[in-house]
Structure 1
């Protein structure tokens, strides 16, 4: 089964509460998917993080515990109640424990869940948070599975399997004009699990008929958690910068039009639906900037609100006149402050880099008097560049360091800025390449496991880099190394980075004397 990247699933989004897409939104989605596997009300959840993984050191500071609790309560990642999810779970009679244990984790962001329902049935689930809020469940009760939240998933387990069961199920579906997207079978000893992926929900009547005819020992329909569903005949029109340029030249399209065509093709949805989704995301971005622009963000840990200080200093003429860049600084900071206070933001492509794209594109639109429609178009341009990164590398700092987060966002923002300035597709791609080249090797070393230091100032650095590279490309400066090759290089470099520099709090600034003191002091705080 091919994995085709979606702008809304993988790149611009999710809309979520901060502070981390892979450590807050990802766990929320894992919890929301896992909760659907149990047959009755949840009584207890024992959650395990691998000793050497990223969650072990960061799950409190990056609110993975609250995300998992919210997901187990059935909440969406953008639910404003997320900050109180642990208390809400306790009120609902759900006991949740968090444990650090040694096990063979296939990914730095691996979480094992043991869920116990009110009838004391236990369900064993393993999930991965893959970066940017994307997840995959890879194990259920000893069966190897692959559930990413982009299908309706019919799960059946037979302790005594008969060869005609799958044919019987498919016949029932066909009688109701339902064509399965994929049918997967997993075996364990004498037992068999059948996973049928669907593009639409099954009615209770259909499920009851399947149960009557096959008598499974377990049956559950899992609902999707991603905004854009997948399908068997899913395809994308291009998958590299070179292919985008070729399409645009052949069809006389600009970068925005190419991005819309891509997402319509990928999702099987209309242009109107695609535009409406991005308009909503722009609304969230603007609100996330405005919410903390006046020094009112509730940041409980190391940093206090500071975006308003830059805004005030600019108004009083105390800053060097660097034009729109000063506004970009405090807009980007404000968005990050909203995220740190568990406010609602749009990850673009991650929560740890959420200030860069809105900070640059919205500021520049205001500066040169462009409307929201123009900003939406620029967001699509940024999103299409992000598709290339998601397809050929990653946005996960746990895998590739901060070059994959702030670096990717800077690369994407540069392309969008060029579009706003009236540049060509080639200039957008050149700017993206230059921006990403400048941050190769950037490590992820969050002090005390929080998305604050150095994340806040790295957002500013990356935003400034995006503007500079956009101007260079508009002036005709050549990138020399093609964007596709730079993306490949970023991924290669990321795999060379030691795990201490990939969001584990074991190296870099997190390992300084001051960083360690912050970590020690914050361990005394109830998150």
Structure 2
């Protein structure tokens, strides 16, 4: 299935701190709740020993997110932080277990088992980065569910006949199980027809947790994206908007409104992080506001737009660490870079809001190449595919803002990716703060620098497709200790291990 910019690159809007460990688990549990059809009496969430999610789930809020999803509450509900204390009042028992299980194939694999009070339901899913997921086992049947369709799942005592649904959607079968995935809501008469089929013992349905994919992709890779923009005399942002409109079968005006809403979330995060009300973090004390004040007073070595972009990135990350609301771009751990870049466009460069929204589409296009052909999960490829990807997206946004071509946007993104290649994920005490905050800050600044290099005439010899391929290949060579497990790098230094948590 083709990647979507709004589904997979810029978003979701979420409480911090990690999209892999917060938004992804939430989406898995929310979809599971849909298939369950009602609130279970008991739910058990299992993580494999030594996996990233087993090491980090308490510190990064995976437990909170899973509870919110199984309860059917919105991810941005104000009760998020209290999820572990409120679920008993809903009449459900919840347990978290660390042990091996069949189907654990990813650093963020999760098994869910639910007692429905007269029946049971189980699933295994992987949180694959940026809030995305793949649910690949449902009651022991192999499925392939990404949350971007309407689903109907049936179990039968005998093989089900073909042709039950006509052209309603994609039907897959395994043994006596059947899964229908449709881009549109499944008519009740088709559900009734399935229930009436001989031997059917259970029929379950679930609604999408992302925008349904209803159209076709206009291009398949970065090279095709650049050629499409050139052939139609479009900027990268304009080409990205056309791609998303065709893929989701949605009007451009509606898509722009949603992107503007996500821009507003970024603005609010920066504003809150710079204020005296910046939320408390686990290890660090807020400093973004102090840096901005020092820059305004001329007390820094250099200052200027690069420093202000960096401070704004840190401000957004302070909110992310405090489990405030941010927009993943492309992940929660990198949710500061793009806000630092685009809010600086608004505040310091006085760029029109519509032009900043278009620049965000260009940023989404640069990230889309990685989303289509790689991963946003630091658990798989290190920090280079999170904060590194965010820096690449920021560089593309700056070139778009400056009137550069689609090819120049992609070259600036590629250069930024190349500068981040090999960047490990070694978060201290399993918390998205050290070294995440300063990386977000420096990459927001570097986004402007890489854009200027390309706009000034640098010819990038390795394009964005080849660069993304190299980044992902490099990431998969990293040992697991350097991929979001807090078992290597800065996380195991004497000073890091001795830090006391503030919250």
TM-score category by the smaller chain?
Answer: over 0.9
Aligned residue number for residue 321 of structure 2: 340
Displacement of 1:470: 0.8
Q: Cα RMSD over matched residues?
A: 1.8
Contact 1:365 1:420 in 2 (8 A): no
Displacement of 1:13: 0.6
CA-to-partner distance for each residue in 1:304-335, whole Å, 9 max, x for gaps? 22211112212322123332112212211111
Matches within 5 A, 1:256-335: 256-335=237-316
Matches within 5 A, 1:119-518: 119=118, 121-161=119-159, 163-164=160-161, 166-167=162-163, 169-170=164-165, 179-187=167-175, 192-204=176-188, 206-214=190-198, 216-226=200-210, 228-231=211-214, 234-518=215-499
Greater Cα shift, 290-299 or 383-392: 290-299
Q: Which runs of 5+ in 1 are unaligned?
A: none
Displacement of 1:448: 0.8
Greater Cα shift, 247-256 or 206-215: 206-215
Counterpart CA distance in 2 for 1:59 and 1:444 is 16
Matches within 5 A, 1:85-104: 85-103=83-101
Counterpart CA distance in 1 for 2:25 and 2:72 is 12
Displacement of 1:205: 5.4
Aligned residue number for residue 111 of structure 1: 110
Aligned CA distance change for structure 1 residues 45 and 261 (closer, same or farther; 3 Å): same
Contact 2:307 2:445 in 1 (8 A): no
What SS is found at the alignment partner of 1:295?
coil
Q: Is structure 2 residue 83 aligned with structure 1 residue 74?
A: no
Counterpart CA distance in 2 for 1:507 and 1:151 is 39
Contact 1:25 1:133 in 2 (8 A): yes
Aligned residue number for residue 18 of structure 1: 16
What SS is found at the alignment partner of 1:126?
strand
Counterpart CA distance in 2 for 1:473 and 1:207 is 55
Aligned CA distance change for structure 1 residues 358 and 125 (closer, same or farther; 3 Å): same
Aligned CA distance change for structure 1 residues 219 and 284 (closer, same or farther; 3 Å): same
Counterpart CA distance in 2 for 1:470 and 1:416 is 9
Counterpart CA distance in 1 for 2:284 and 2:485 is 20
Displacement of 1:15: 0.9
Aligned residue number for residue 32 of structure 1: 30
Q: Normalization by structure 1: what TM-score?
A: 0.92
Counterpart CA distance in 1 for 2:265 and 2:386 is 20
Q: Normalization by structure 2: what TM-score?
A: 0.96
Counterpart CA distance in 1 for 2:39 and 2:326 is 31
Counterpart CA distance in 2 for 1:12 and 1:304 is 27
Aligned CA distance change for structure 1 residues 182 and 209 (closer, same or farther; 3 Å): closer
CA-to-partner distance for each residue in 1:113-162, whole Å, 9 max, x for gaps? 1111233x32221111000000111111111111111111011111234x
Greater Cα shift, 487-496 or 457-466: 457-466
What SS is found at the alignment partner of 1:504?
coil
Greater Cα shift, 459-468 or 200-209: 200-209
Aligned CA distance change for structure 1 residues 245 and 201 (closer, same or farther; 3 Å): closer
Greater Cα shift, 104-113 or 400-409: 104-113
Counterpart CA distance in 2 for 1:323 and 1:400 is 33
Displacement of 1:9: 0.7
Aligned CA distance change for structure 1 residues 483 and 300 (closer, same or farther; 3 Å): closer
Displacement of 1:215: 6.0
What SS is found at the alignment partner of 1:13?
coil
Displacement of 1:18: 0.9
Counterpart CA distance in 1 for 2:230 and 2:420 is 30
Counterpart CA distance in 2 for 1:99 and 1:124 is 15
Counterpart CA distance in 2 for 1:115 and 1:456 is 38
Counterpart CA distance in 1 for 2:197 and 2:45 is 36
Contact 2:370 2:376 in 1 (8 A): yes
Counterpart CA distance in 1 for 2:124 and 2:204 is 17
Aligned residue number for residue 5 of structure 1: 3
What SS is found at the alignment partner of 1:353?
coil
Counterpart CA distance in 2 for 1:468 and 1:366 is 18
Counterpart CA distance in 1 for 2:267 and 2:281 is 23
Counterpart CA distance in 2 for 1:354 and 1:195 is 35
Counterpart CA distance in 1 for 2:310 and 2:154 is 52
Counterpart CA distance in 2 for 1:441 and 1:461 is 16
Counterpart CA distance in 2 for 1:433 and 1:209 is 51
